[in-house]
Amino acid sequence: MKISELSTIYALLDEKGITSESFSPAAFEKMAQMLSLLDATEQDLILKLLLNFEIYGMAQYYPMFNDTLAKINFNKFHGYKKIAILPCITNADAGEEKYKSGDLVAGFFKGVDFSDYIKTNKRPHVTVYKNILTYNNPKNNDVKIFVDDFIGTGDTVITAIEDFFNHQTRVRKNYCVFSFVAMKEGLARLRAKRIPVYVCHELSKGITDSNTIRKKDDAISLMKKIEDEHLDLEPEFSLGYGQSEALVKMQRTPNNTFPIFWLEKGQGDEKWPAPFPRI
């Protein structure tokens, strides 16, 4: 690859705050390795996508938490004395002992002084639950905040909420969804179902909604060609889960992001140099 292209990669990653100390192995080295395996046309597409790639780590989580929490209008909830914080985890996943981003976000609520956000003399009691199965208030009058750091297609949020309210036929009231970042397409699905949702950042599809890629159908075909030639990819993750076309890395890269950025399983016995693996 050309030195000028390599310099562009280093400059873009540096702009996003990615250094050799931030990741292991270093993301910019993986990016350079990945580009070296692509032809000039493919490299051009990846470079254009990088210009809109968003990276959110713990340094961004704290201000995003405060900004998102400040958007919630607690005055619209009625008759509550408690606030329940519920990670967006479906019943099917609730028993699995593996990393869930909702758990991380739920932890931010511990120790929060809600008097800064709720105009009342009565300070509500806040409980952070491990998952929706551990919530057992039969009165169902608590404010219930379903939390995650990222919303892609909206599938997980919708299923988690349906699982929760279908249990013991709870009435759908006094609840909302809280997330740092969300795909606009996923938000549209939630809002179409009249699910109240609060987020800090909304993201568009990387190719379909791009302002810099003119021949979008060609770009989609090219990306699928890259996937077919280099990745051992399950069909449901082509272009990112649900064809989300996301360009984002959270504390853990969502599978809604284009898989060339996170999937390390290459063709045959080859390992693909994904710069943002899901670890």
- Alpha-carbon span 150 to 61, nearest angstrom: 11
Highest mean pLDDT pick, 44-53, 227-236, 265-274: 227-236
pLDDT score of 242 more than 80: yes
User: CB–CB of 196/176 below 8 Å?
Assistant: yes
* pLDDT of the residue at 31: 84
* pLDDT of the residue at 139: 67
Q: What is the mean pLDDT of residues 173-183?
A: 96
Q: What is the mean pLDDT of residues 162-191?
A: 91
- Alpha-carbon span 257 to 245, nearest angstrom: 6
Cα separations in angstroms, 102 against 35, 195, 211, 226? 33, 18, 32, 32
Quickly state the pLDDT bin for 2 (edges 50, 70, 90): low
* pLDDT of the residue at 99: 59
* pLDDT of the residue at 18: 54
pLDDT score of 19 more than 60: no
pLDDT score of 267 more than 60: yes
Lowest mean pLDDT among 5-9, 29-33, 34-38, 217-221: 5-9
> How does the average pLDDT of the chain come out, rounded?
87
* pLDDT of the residue at 45: 93
Lowest mean pLDDT among 54-68, 177-191, 214-228: 54-68
Locate 51 and state its tokens. Answer: 């210009």
The pTM is what? 0.88
pLDDT score of 147 more than 80: yes
pLDDT score of 183 more than 60: yes
Domains of the chain: 3-52+206-261 (no CATH), 58-203 (3.40.50)
82-131: pLDDT as tens digits: 899 999 988 888 766 555 788 899 999 988 888 777 776 667 888 999 88
* pLDDT of the residue at 75: 82
Coil, helix or strand for 98?
Answer: coil
Q: What is the mean pLDDT of residues 174-195?
A: 97
User: CB–CB of 83/145 below 8 Å?
Assistant: yes
Coil, helix or strand for 89?
Answer: coil
* DSSP letter (8 states) at residue 126: E
* pLDDT of the residue at 50: 82
pLDDT score of 14 more than 90: no
* pLDDT of the residue at 93: 80
Q: What is the mean pLDDT of residues 201-209?
A: 98
- Alpha-carbon span 69 to 168, nearest angstrom: 29
Q: What is the mean pLDDT of residues 5-20?
A: 64
